[in-house]
Amino acid sequence: MISAVSLLFDAGHRPRAEEIRELARKSRQFSLSIDPASDGIEDGGWVELLVNGLTFDLVGLGTSAPPRVPDCRHHFALPQGFDQSGLEAITLSPGPHLSGGGAMFPVVRCLASLGAQLAGLEDVRAVAWHPAHTCSAPDYFRRGVTGWIEGGPFPGLGLTALKSNPDGSMQSEGLSLFTSQELRLSPEMCGDRAEAAKVALRLLNWLVEHGRIEQPFTFTGPSGETLELEPVDNSAILHVWKRSH
């Protein structure tokens, strides 16, 4: 699973390196550890960002060749009919020295936090979180991620997503980046999709906080119901069903 976040812009409106420098100066939460343009090197359309001792590469700046716009299957808080086909991306991903640790929790949190700060750039149309194939409105992404970083609930609809399976079950997409497991609610729980989503989001928040589940586990749902969680498919899937009384 690729750890990366892209900011999408109308063609010709991608920011330049100096705009990233100005954002870093204003936020004081990250800095530019490598900036080819200001270091007298030919501007290749990229910079290296430093936050909490971790480095991330931001590519596609200015008039450089833009990276591929990621495939977005889930849209959040975007205008109806939103079309990403004509947009261009700048993409943030863990630096080369983190190539083996791109899925480590501190790295993922920093990546999301930096993505939220970059979402404050001018002319951002949407924020694409690659691991969950999600595309969110900039303000929506910023609020959700910033709230989580500051101790609030995990932004389950943004950093993960929920999809329907052919058998009627509901499954998370993108949770495995945080816990190495995806969540699947049984078809019997998904007759009311809104209620099932409420249960799933509560579980997503809890699982991101507590981590991978190795053994069957009992969980109390949002309405006081008893839920059974069991790792299946070599523990890659966490199956959830409601205990009958």
pLDDT at 162: 97
Q: pLDDT tens digits for the chain (245 residues)?
A: 679 999 999 999 999 999 999 999 998 889 898 877 665 555 579 999 999 899 999 999 998 999 999 999 999 999 998 999 899 999 999 988 766 554 688 899 999 999 999 999 999 999 999 999 999 999 999 999 999 999 999 999 999 999 999 999 999 999 999 999 999 999 999 999 999 999 999 999 999 999 999 999 999 888 888 999 999 988 899 999 987 65
Distance of alpha carbon 175 from alpha carbon 163, whole angstroms: 12
What confidence score (pLDDT) does residue 37 get? 66
∠ CA(127), CA(9), CA(132), 5° rounding? 25
Q: What is the pTM of this model?
A: 0.92
Q: Which residue's entry shows tokens 């069903």?
A: 241
Sketch the domain layout of the chain as residue ranges.
Answer: 5-149, 160-242
DSSP string, 4-63: -EEEEEETT-PPPHHHHHHHHHHH-S-EEEE-TTTTTS---SEEEEEETTEEEEEE--TT
Instruction: For residue 126, give Cα distances in angstroms to 4, 90, 140.
Output: 14, 11, 9
Residue at 176: amino acid letter: S
Type of residue at 191: G
